[in-house]
Amino acid sequence: MKIKNILLVVLLVFTYSFVLAQKQELNWYLKSYSKDKIFGTSSTNALELLKDKKSNQVIVAVIDSGVETDHEDLKDVIWVNEDEIPNNNIDDDENGYIDDVHGWSFLGGKTEDINYESYELARMYHNLNSYFYVRDTNNLSEEDALKYKEYLFIEKEYYKESKQMEAQIKQIQVISEYIERVKSAKGVFTKKTNKKYNPTDKNDASIKKRMKLILLFVKPSELESQVSLASKQLINSYELNKSSTDSIRKVIVGDCPSKAKEKYYGCNRYEGPDAMHGTHVSGIIAASKNNQLGIEGVADNVRIMVLRAVPNGDERDKDIANSIRYAVDNGASIINMSFGKYFTPNKELVDDAIRYAAKNDVLLIHAAGNESKNKDIETSYPTRILNDGSIAKNWIEVGASSNSRKGKKIIAEFSNYGLTTVDFFAPGVDIYSTIPDNKYEDASGT
């Protein structure tokens, strides 16, 4: 589940828990503390030290929302499957995926792509609700009694999450309505018009005060578009959560969601309807260094393999497992996984894929999450802790840090953390990177 940074800022401000951060420098994450007094990755220094060494090209699979493969700063670093002839509608390399030239999407069918999905908690609730709706819960087998206990817990959490989403939608609507009132009174919404706006009552005055704080970070025009987007995403997810989305999935993608081990479905439309997150992540990893355009990625001599498996909503376990296996089978050495959720119905599928990656010496890099939670206490998925209690050794868990020059509050306010579950923190605040339509934008996250 992806969390939009603007939405996060807005909700935190409106619950009085936001801490001001300083404006970051462009490409600060490449810099070093010893040279620049910035807590970056020191990757520029590292590459300088290694400039006389010959490097081997590394394929990095990005399992995400999709990637704009023809972006000006990415087109030269996108992986090409040389065993596949483009657009001939033939599976030339016989790997089960037709015309998979740059990777694969497990979220698309013949003509359409999945954009919005419900949350996993909602899918689990509706599946269990359907199962027990036709059963006498006073006369259950031992196996069903255990499942029913799980159902009662899932039901409680489902309604709790629904109420939280309702509250978030209301908060976003309050902001949207305030912006419209300012525009109605002053013609446009800017810092200046917000300052000159005369509130209609005490509540309006309170919103104005908080809006002043929000506008310290976010451009008014950007805030307007992101509030609109956040509202749309929340409402879509909320509506999808109210009913099972498996039927929609069958129509669009064509697979059967209940067949957990199904492998060969999807399409080769790598970008999908919302590739912002995946494109931003890919730019951080590998944006071209020597084209005098945009930004510079952290790594050199890498190729990005695109695997679309993360919708607006929660990713499905079978899609993640299949993505990992595809990456391993097609030569990736590293798999980047900037997604996560707190409920999982088919953990064993992903666990087996993690073991498969380990067996083939493939490293998994996973984002810790953006909910300010202690992962030592609350587990999110996927996780390196496998069903048999063993720990995957090919796994690195990463939280987000800022460029704090004094070393104080270096961990990002939104970042999950954990003494035993998060390995280290890497730059994740105001990172300027590639986004669709040949553009660039700041975003924050683990």
Q: pLDDT tens digit string along 122-174?
A: 999 999 999 999 999 999 999 999 999 999 999 999 999 999 999 999 999 99
Rounded to an integer, what distance in angstroms lies between the CA atom of residue 199 and that of residue 111?
49
Most confident of 16-25, 45-54, 382-391: 382-391
Task: Using a cut of 0.85, tell me whether the model's pTM lies above it.
Answer: yes
Contact, 326 vs 93, CB < 8 A? no
pLDDT in tens, 111-125: 999 999 999 999 999
Asked if residue 387 has pLDDT above 80, the reply is yes
- CA separation for the pair 397, 285 (Å, rounded): 16
Calculate the average pLDDT of the chain.
90
- pLDDT at position 10: 47
pLDDT at 234: 87
DSSP calls for 218-266: S-HHHHHHHHHHHHHHHHHHHHHHTS--HHHHHHHT-S-TT-TT-----
pLDDT band with cut points at 50, 70 and 90 for residue 405: low
- Calculated CA dihedral for residues 121, 111, 327, 58, nearest 10 degrees: -120
Task: Give residue 19's pLDDT.
Answer: 34
Predicted confidence at residue 358, as pLDDT, reads 98
pLDDT at residue 406, as a whole number: 62
- Residue 290 pLDDT more than 60? yes
CA torsion, points 122, 124, 130, 133, in degrees to nearest 10?
-90
Single out the residue of 235, 216, 274 nearest to residue 9, CA to CA. Answer: 216
* Residue 76 pLDDT greater than 90, yes or no: yes
Residue 6 pLDDT class (50, 70, 90 cuts): very low
Spatial separation of the C-alpha atoms in residues 406 and 216, rounded to whole Å:
21
Pick 409 or 20 by higher pLDDT. Answer: 409
**The pair of three-digit structure tokens given for residue 227, joined into one six-digit string:** 């509030």
* Non-local CB neighbours of 50 within 8 Å, separated by 6+ positions: none
pLDDT at 201 over 90: yes
Cα separation of the two ends of the chain = 12
Q: In angstroms, rounded to a whole number, what is the distance separating the alpha carbons of residues 350 and 323? A: 10
- pLDDT band of residue 217 (cuts 50, 70, 90) is confident
